[in-house]
Amino acid sequence: MDETALIALGILMEETAREILGDSGDLVFLEGDEEGLGASPGQEEDSLGAALRGLREESIVSQNRVEENDSSSLPSENSYRDTAPKITANAAKQATILAWFHKTAVAHSIKDLEKAIPSVASINGMQVKDYLQALSDDNKIRVEKIGSGNWYWSFPSDDKKAKELALEKAQEEYDKANAVLTELQAKVDEAGAAREEDDDMLLGTGGDRKTLITKHADLTKELEKLRQDLAAYSEQDPVEMDKKKKETQKFRVETEKFTDHILSMEGWLKGHTGGDKEQMSNIRQMCYGDEFDEEEGGLREL
């Protein structure tokens, strides 16, 4: 029984005595009521024991209430753990924890790990989950939900298998890069051989590649200038003149053909209008438009 319970017991005894004896203690000299007359010493002891037992029970109840209030006012370990800030996992301690997993070679529950890892890696118990999460994110340990909780383990064979997979992937990438390099080198060698042949051919003509490139640029500029000069004399160019003559002859033939069609249509209209000159003139003016010659009364000559 601690100090709080003793104080509570003393207060209860004081209050009980005050109720029985009065505030001034005068009731100690008075006799009991009729119900209490003739009571035997054994009965008095029983009543006193019952009173003491009642006081003890009340003190225990009050003590439990005080302890409950104290425990409810204090934050729990889980609340500390939930509100604790996440830490950055130390690489050396991670390696220590991983080595411990490999050494034990069994699956562990979270409760077992929270008890064992703090002493293994010299970390706080609230940091265990952070370290486990970091190792799981790096695929260094495996986590599986079995039953109602998570189980953690890591075997040396798993680490070896992961390294073999990484090595195999790196080898595949190396082979691909090497194949691309070989292909590019072959193209470079082929281009170099072709250039050597060109250089040999150019040396046979008495000039190197740079000289011939410069000469080609000069000739290209000169050719462009000659084309511009030729375009300025295109009207007197015999080829252009012959071309225009052929086009003119073609247009003349087409014009004569369409003129014959127009005259045929005029003859047809003249037959349907009965030879009415005014009506024919109106029809010609409407159909010919700007090409109508008022003096001639028909289609304007070209």
User: Which contacts (CB < 8 Å, 24+ apart) does range 103-112 have?
Assistant: 105/155, 105/156, 106/153, 107/146, 107/151, 107/152, 107/153, 108/151, 108/152, 108/153, 109/149, 109/150, 109/151, 109/152, 110/149, 110/150, 110/152, 111/149
Does residue 112 carry a pLDDT above 90? no
Same structural domain, 286 and 255: yes
In this prediction, residue 161 has a pLDDT band, given cuts at 50, 70 and 90, of confident
Q: Amino acid identity of 299?
A: L
Q: What is the pLDDT of residues 163-190, one digit of tens each?
A: 888 899 999 999 999 999 999 999 998 8
| Last residue within a domain, chosen from 114, 139, 154 | 154
Query: Exposed, middle or buried: residue 170 (CB in 10 Å: 0-12, 13-18, 19+)?
Result: exposed
Q: Is residue 198 part of a domain?
A: no
Q: What is the pLDDT of residues 75-88, one digit of tens each?
A: 444 444 444 456 67
The domain in which residue 288 lies consists of 239-299
The mean per-residue pLDDT over the stretch 230-237 comes to 73
Q: Is residue 196 part of a domain?
A: no
DSSP character for 144? E
Handedness of CA 94, 100, 104, 110 (dihedral sign): negative
pLDDT (0 to 100) of residue 77: 45
Q: What is the mean pLDDT of the chain?
A: 75
Q: Are 95 and 103 in contact (CB under 8 A)?
A: no
**Total domains present in the chain:** 3
Q: Amino acid identity of 289?
A: G
pLDDT (0 to 100) of residue 223: 92
Q: Work out the percent of the chain whose per-residue pLDDT is above 70.
A: 65
| Last residue within a domain, chosen from 154, 187, 202 | 154
Q: Identify the residue whose tokens are 């375009």.
A: 231
Which tokens in the block code for residue 278? 């005014």
**Three-class secondary structure assignment of 72-138:** HHCCCHHHHHHHCCCCCCCHHHHHHHHHHHHHHCCCEEHHHHHHHHHHHHCCCHHHHHHHHHHHHHC
CATH of the domain at 145: 1.10.10.10
pLDDT (0 to 100) of residue 271: 79
Q: Is residue 140 part of a domain?
A: yes
Q: How far apart are CA 67 and CA 96, in angstroms?
A: 41
Phi, psi at 66, each rounded to 5°: -65, -45
The mean per-residue pLDDT over the stretch 133-155 comes to 84
pLDDT (0 to 100) of residue 61: 60
| Last residue within a domain, chosen from 154, 174, 200 | 154
Q: Is residue 220 part of a domain?
A: no
Helix (H, G, I), strand (E, B) or coil at 39: coil
Q: Is residue 2 part of a domain?
A: yes
Q: Is residue 12 part of a domain?
A: yes
Q: Is residue 269 part of a domain?
A: yes
Q: Is residue 92 part of a domain?
A: yes
The mean per-residue pLDDT over the stretch 147-156 comes to 83
